[in-house]
């Protein structure tokens, strides 16, 4: 199993333990043990010392995966893994022998009391100790969590949705000013796919072959199926913000298309 897969496999545990870590102002012991078992604390430690000696892209992917589950856990892993790596890479043999040892299973790097003592007594050039550094980091984290969220603007919808729905979108999502509105329409799509994106004309097309079954016998109109259209707008509306579809946008559209087309076809049965 790759290091990234191991990190991703810990996501549920990390997320579940995040409230405990926040309340205790230290990483949950269960997460610490999981990081040890997965070898993540030795992510950048040289292999000859029992570490993983991972390449930089892998290191960044692991930090990203852990941070997605809990930002504090990701920061803590980064701080510990890099500190261990620097100690292993830039100190002499005597110091390394005192600080590092592998467990019997050779699955993790263990640090001795000498390493803890060095970390405890270390002082930076400006007089900062490890304790004051951690206090500052905690305060920065708490401050970032208390800041009000800023919602990302979107191009708003035009025709195809009832006015009350468009009003709700206007109340909840800031608009990108000066952009032509996105129209949401039923139309002819040559194959059986559920929707199509017309960037040039700023139209989100829905395949009219599915209209009757999705309306459940109700009479259609310009603003029909508001729930379906609203959900599709929220899902795909951001693809209209560029002049062309990038690699990520194309991949997302393929995923949405496959799932929604299968769901629409299932409604016919």
Q: How many CB atoms lie within 10 A of CB 56?
A: 8
Structure tokens at 204: 């989100």
For residue 197, the cross-strand partners are 204
Cβ-contact 232, 252 below 8 angstroms = no
- Give 216's Cβ-side CA count (13 Å radius): 3
Q: Where are the domains of the chain?
A: 3-146, 163-267
Q: How many CB atoms lie within 10 A of CB 145?
A: 10
d(CA 129, CA 88): 21
Q: What is the pLDDT along the chain (269 residues), one digit of tens a residue?
A: 899 999 999 999 999 999 998 888 888 999 999 998 898 988 888 777 777 888 889 999 999 999 999 999 998 898 888 877 766 666 666 666 666 555 544 445 555 555 556 666 767 778 887 677 767 777 776 776 676 778 899 999 999 999 999 999 999 999 999 899 999 999 999 899 999 999 999 999 999 999 999 998 888 999 999 999 999 999 999 999 987 888 888 999 999 999 999 999 999 87
Could you tell me which of 85, 89, 67 has the C-alpha nearest to residue 76? Answer: 67
Q: Is CATH 3.90.950.10 the right assignment for the domain spanning 3-146?
A: no
Residue 196 host element (H or E): strand 195-198
pTM beyond 0.85, yes or no: no
d(CA 217, CA 213): 7
């Amino acid at each position: 199993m790759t290091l990234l897969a191991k990190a991703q496999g810990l996501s549920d545990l990390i997320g579940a333990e995040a409230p405990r870590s926040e309340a205790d102002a230290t990483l949950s012991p269960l997460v610490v043990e999981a990081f040890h078992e997965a070898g993540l604390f030795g992510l950048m430690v040289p292999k000859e010392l029992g570490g993983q000696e991972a390449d930089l892209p892998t290191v960044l992917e692991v930090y990203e995966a852990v941070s997605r589950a809990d930002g504090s856990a990701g920061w803590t892993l980064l701080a510990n893994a890099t500190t261990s790596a620097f100690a292993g890479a830039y100190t002499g043999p005597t110091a390394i022998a005192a600080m590092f040892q592998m467990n019997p299973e050779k699955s993790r790097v263990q640090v001795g009391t000498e390493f803890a003592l060095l970390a405890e007594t270390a002082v930076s050039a400006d007089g900062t100790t490890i304790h004051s550094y951690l206090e500052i980091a905690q305060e920065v984290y708490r401050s970032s969590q208390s800041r009000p969220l800023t919602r990302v603007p979107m191009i708003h919808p035009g025709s195809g949705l009832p006015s009350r729905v468009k009003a709700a979108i206007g109340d909840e999502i800031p608009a990108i000013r000066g952009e032509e509105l996105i129209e949401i329409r039923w139309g002819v799509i040559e194959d059986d796919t559920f929707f199509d994106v017309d960037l040039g004309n700023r139209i989100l097309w829905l395949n009219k072959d599915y209209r009757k079954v999705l309306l459940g016998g109700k009479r259609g109109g310009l603003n029909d199926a508001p729930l379906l259209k609203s959900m599709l707008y929220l899902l795909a509306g951001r693809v209209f913000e560029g002049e062309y579809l990038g690699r990520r946008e194309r991949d997302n559209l393929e995923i949405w298309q496959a799932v929604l087309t299968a769901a629409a076809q299932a409604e016919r049965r």
